[in-house]
Structure 1
């Protein structure tokens, strides 16, 4: 792992009007790393991803890519810098085919350095073969898991350095969830990092090298995923040890 983080935040605060959603978030992720964000509904996890993508305004200097500040940018500019999001709810284009939903991203992503290996339609098909079989089907005819694969494939075709994944497992069957998460090592093998926001704490632990827990907009835990205990997660998740985390 590189000593210098790919992306980091420094005392990040954010909110909506008079409502403050995040309080002083310090975070870092390195090339090829999978990091998980856990926390209850309303903890600020999705807001954090939106800050990274430029969907929510952030104070100058609080978000840095390769050490350089990247505040005050549009989501389109974020994609060009190498950030891509797999949004909660997938947000695919109904009425369009699977292939058209994928190709819409092809001309809007990051330009690779010379010798860089781009994500192509063929590579996405190799990752999720069902998308080749369903290439001409309207995207709304797919199962939820297949739609999630389209959403991931669309993000990959932007050639991201950092993939932001918001609730990949939400509403999906366990077998499909395993198939989707099994793709992560292939995605990160060439240096792409992945930040996963996940409600399933066990899944978040097993898929990541480190995890952060948010409670009411504050980081209450940051540990190696392999070393953190259930008791520590429970305390961080709820702010009390008198509850249990599934």
Structure 2
């Protein structure tokens, strides 16, 4: 049974059709990427999974359970964490306070266990350890993105939704970020990744879906997508057939 199944979902923003009969699956332990131009429906797909957007038709199932009647605030308790575009850290809280907030959805967590889990985040994101007492607003864009990842992971998700994590970041930070995404998967967390940097996304993904106007137009392994002339011309700049790590 797939970890996540999206079956023939459609959704709208007012009169605008955002998703049209979209279907996809994610298996446990995968990194799956959603590719496509701006407005293709990638972020809407994540928001629909998180119940921030109500579909007009279709069904989403997580671990076999329908999400139809699950409120948005309950999604994280099921094991789905959403790191939205724009990081959205709490600027007036310290780095460590931001990390700890990520565990709040799990109810009471003992002090010793919480401290141990914060230490785990510092192991994955070593830059955050030296910044633990710094306020969120003082961090660079890359540091804020790492903090947003750490906060999401503190909810102990089975599925992590990442929306444009590399947006606005320097190339060296992007390299570090995608190495971290690999580490997150190796620790047992499944990842659904929305990313404009298609080459980089495909360098870490097991499979990908290409969206256009709210529909899946191509799907497959990174090699299949990288060797698809249409996909390469539209989303990979017509560049090399091989993704770079």
Q: TM-score, normalised by structure 2?
A: 0.89
1:51 corresponds in structure 2 to 48
Structure 2 vs 1, CA of residues 230 and 244 (structure 1 numbering), >3 Å: closer, same or farther?
farther
Q: 2:158, 2:190 within 8 Å by CA — same for their partners in 1?
A: yes
Structure 2 vs 1, CA of residues 245 and 77 (structure 1 numbering), >3 Å: closer, same or farther?
farther
1:66 corresponds in structure 2 to 63
User: What is the CA deviation profile of residues 123-146 of structure 1, one whole-angstrom value per residue up to 9, with x for unaligned ones?
Assistant: 110001111100000111111100
141-150 or 93-102, which moves further after superposition? 93-102
189-198 or 77-86, which moves further after superposition? 189-198
The 1-side partners of 2:238 and 2:85 are apart by 22
The 2-side partners of 1:230 and 1:169 are apart by 24
Q: 1:160, 1:192 within 8 Å by CA — same for their partners in 2?
A: yes
2:31 corresponds in structure 1 to 34
1:129 corresponds in structure 2 to 126
Q: Which runs of 5+ in 2 are unaligned?
A: 109-115, 240-245
Work out whether 1:179 is the aligned partner of 2:179.
Answer: no
Query: Number of residue pairs matched?
Result: 233
Structure 2 vs 1, CA of residues 244 and 8 (structure 1 numbering), >3 Å: closer, same or farther?
same
1:106 corresponds in structure 2 to 103
The 1-side partners of 2:196 and 2:55 are apart by 25
The 1-side partners of 2:214 and 2:58 are apart by 19
Structure 2 vs 1, CA of residues 218 and 61 (structure 1 numbering), >3 Å: closer, same or farther?
closer
Out of 138, 144, 164, the residue aligned to residue 141 of structure 2 is 144
Q: How far apart are residue 233 of structure 1 and its match?
A: 1.1
The 1-side partners of 2:78 and 2:56 are apart by 19
The 1-side partners of 2:84 and 2:29 are apart by 20
Q: Which runs of 5+ in 1 are unaligned?
A: 112-118
The 2-side partners of 1:60 and 1:124 are apart by 38
36-45 or 180-189, which moves further after superposition? 180-189
Q: 2:81, 2:155 within 8 Å by CA — same for their partners in 1?
A: yes
Q: How far apart are residue 71 of structure 1 and its match?
A: 1.6
- DSSP-derived class of the 2:191 partner: strand
Out of 163, 166, 171, the residue aligned to residue 169 of structure 1 is 166
Q: RMSD over aligned Cα, in angstroms?
A: 2.2
1:116 corresponds in structure 2 to none
Q: How far apart are residue 189 of structure 1 and its match?
A: 2.1
Structure 1 runs of 4+ with >3 Å offset = 243-246
Q: How far apart are residue 234 of structure 1 and its match?
A: 3.8
1:194 corresponds in structure 2 to 191
Q: How far apart are residue 17 of structure 1 and its match?
A: 2.0
Structure whose residues are more often helix by fraction: 2
1:216 corresponds in structure 2 to 213
- DSSP-derived class of the 2:147 partner: helix
Out of 1, 6, 10, the residue aligned to residue 3 of structure 2 is 6
The 2-side partners of 1:216 and 1:93 are apart by 33
Q: How far apart are residue 230 of structure 1 and its match?
A: 4.7
Work out whether 1:81 is the aligned partner of 2:89.
Answer: no
